[in-house]
Amino acid sequence: MKRKQSLFSRPKASKTKPSKTHTDYPEILNIQALSHEGRGIAKHEGKTIFISGALPGEEVKYQLDTKHRRYDEAFCTEVVTASEQRSKPHCDYYGQCGGCDLQHLDHTHQITTKETLVIDQLARLGKFQPTTVEAPINSPSWEYRRSCRLGINQLTRDGSAIVGFRRKGSSKLLNIKHCPVLEKPLDNILSELPEILETAETFKEITHAEISMGEHEGALTLRIKKRPSEALCERLNQLANKHNFKLYFDHGHKVEAYEGEAQLDYPIPSTGTEISFKPGDFIQVNAQVNNQMIERAIQWLQLNKNDRVLDLFCGIGNFTLPIASQVDSIIGIEGVEEMVDRANLNAKQNLLSNCEFHKANLTNDLRAMPWYKKGFNKILLDPPRTGALEIIKQLKQHSPEMVLYVSCNPAALARDGAELIEQGFQATRFCVMDMFPHTSHVESLILFERI
């Protein structure tokens, strides 16, 4: 333990509920554990207090923020006894920005802490534990994001631009000049966008920006209520071109290129697959973790030329296409039509004739779908945060040997895993993935095998 360390974060108290004094609490609390969203957990006379910015093993002073019947919320104002795992936050916006709020925990311990938290949730909520816990999939600490979404506001007071992410605990935007988790070209756009916007008298028609980087080029997509003046469009286009991006406008109902389409694609080196995408498509934000995740998925599924695979929530074919070359056939299912079209195009471009893609809402009853009636012996699931319970309940009739679940929400994974176990599977292999370093988000990969 290191003694007495200065305050790293002092987030604003919630405005919705007034701060309360804590006369009935001790001045210093011991932190016993970390909550799944990255706050320190302390107990006082049976009540739980979640303290943001505090780590297990620490003694901290704190300010109570919001009181609830069963627990209270607070933020750390002074670290009296610091954990060995405490690290000095690297980013200037730490404590104000709603993004990377785990920076006070050393990067190497972030992923091991997340691993413990997920395993705990699986045991507590799902009542199961994986047979083997394998090494986490690691990420570079900084400059790992190849896509992001930025909020844009124009201040009425002086017309200046606010470009950045939401403030911690608030829906308000924080003006950000640099973000160290973004790949360099994205960070350059973030830094220079405000001064370009401010050359126009008004840019209130631009509500946010989405920036994504492919292997060759990037796309700067501005969500607009109406088209900006031609002069502003031209300057935005110059900014995009300067950093090897193409400018797009997203009108809500359609996305149009301002001056030619960007060549947006990324490689999957282990299988020699090239994946093309368009602005607005879902892509995995961390390229290095994505490549390792696909390699591990292929290895765990023990693919062979007799396998008939179903890839549910397939997006533009991120798993489907690399898997296709190893198996007899694979079908990918996705809810967004444009992504289904892109996936089919990607199959053609990669000369893959044994994969097909279909559009379906995977929360619906799918038993009448022609693709559903085909047999599959291995299934991959990569659902959004809400999980995949509806479709898992409909998988029974396929009796797959293996289900590989890619999860971005441990609570949904615990619930869905419990259903798979009920259906006769065993959770055999598990690992966490450091897809979003310095945030409390955690991705995991878990293999269920029929007993």
Ligand X SMILES: C[S@@+](CC[C@H](N)C(=O)[O-])C[C@H]1O[C@@H](n2cnc3c(N)ncnc32)[C@H](O)[C@@H]1O
Catalytic residue among 148, 233, 355, 408: 408
User: Total residues contacting ligand X (rule CB under 6 A)?
Assistant: 16
Q: Does 271 bind ligand X (CB under 6 A)?
A: no
Q: Give 49 or 381: the residue with its C-beta nearer to ligand X.
A: 381
Q: Which two tokens stand for residue 119?
A: 């395993």
Q: Does 372 bind ligand X (CB under 6 A)?
A: no
Rounded Cα–Cα distance for residues 297 and 307 (Å): 14
Q: Which residue has the tokens 């901290």?
A: 60
Q: Does 382 bind ligand X (CB under 6 A)?
A: yes
CA-wise closest residue to 433 among 382, 388, 387, 392? 382
Q: Give 189 or 433: the residue with its C-beta nearer to ligand X.
A: 433
Q: Does 336 bind ligand X (CB under 6 A)?
A: yes
DSSP letter assigned to residue 190:
H
Q: Does 371 bind ligand X (CB under 6 A)?
A: no
Q: Which residue has the tokens 């830094």?
A: 191
Which residues, including other chains, have CB under 8 Å from residue 261's CB and lie 6 or more apart? 246
Q: Does 267 bind ligand X (CB under 6 A)?
A: no
Q: Does 334 bind ligand X (CB under 6 A)?
A: yes
Q: Does 346 bind ligand X (CB under 6 A)?
A: no
Kindly indicate which of the ranges 148-156, 235-243, 309-317, 431-439 contains the residues binding ligand X, using the contact rule CB under 6 A: 309-317
Kindly indicate which of the ranges 90-98, 219-227, 234-242, 312-320 contains the residues binding ligand X, using the contact rule CB under 6 A: 312-320
Q: For the purposes of burial, counting CB atoms within 10 Å of the CB of 400, is it exposed (0-12), middle (13-18) or buried (19 or more)?
A: buried
Pairing label, strands 355-359, 329-334:
parallel
Tell me phi and psi for residue 264, to 5 degrees. -100, 115
Q: Give 238 or 361: the residue with its C-beta nearer to ligand X.
A: 361
Q: Does 319 bind ligand X (CB under 6 A)?
A: yes
Q: Which residue has the tokens 């396998």?
A: 307
Per-residue contact flags (x/-) with ligand X for residues 19 to 58, judged by CB under 6 A: ----------------------------------------
Q: Among 9, 87, 292, 318, indicate the residue that binds ligand X (CB under 6 A).
A: 318
Which residues, including other chains, have CB under 8 Å from residue 430's CB and lie 6 or more apart? 119, 130, 132, 133, 134, 444, 445, 446, 447
Q: Give 247 or 366: the residue with its C-beta nearer to ligand X.
A: 366
Q: Where are the beta strands (DSSP E) in 116-170?
A: 132-133, 147-154, 161-166
Q: Does 354 bind ligand X (CB under 6 A)?
A: no
Q: Give 93 or 266: the residue with its C-beta nearer to ligand X.
A: 266
CA-wise closest residue to 198 among 155, 238, 227? 155
Q: How far is the CB of 218 from ligand X (least distance, A)?
A: 18
Amino acid residing at 431: C
Q: Is 408 a catalytic residue?
A: yes
Q: Does 443 bind ligand X (CB under 6 A)?
A: no
Positions annotated as catalytic residues are 408
Binding site for ligand X (CB under 6 A): 282, 284, 313-315, 318-319, 334-336, 339, 361-363, 382, 384
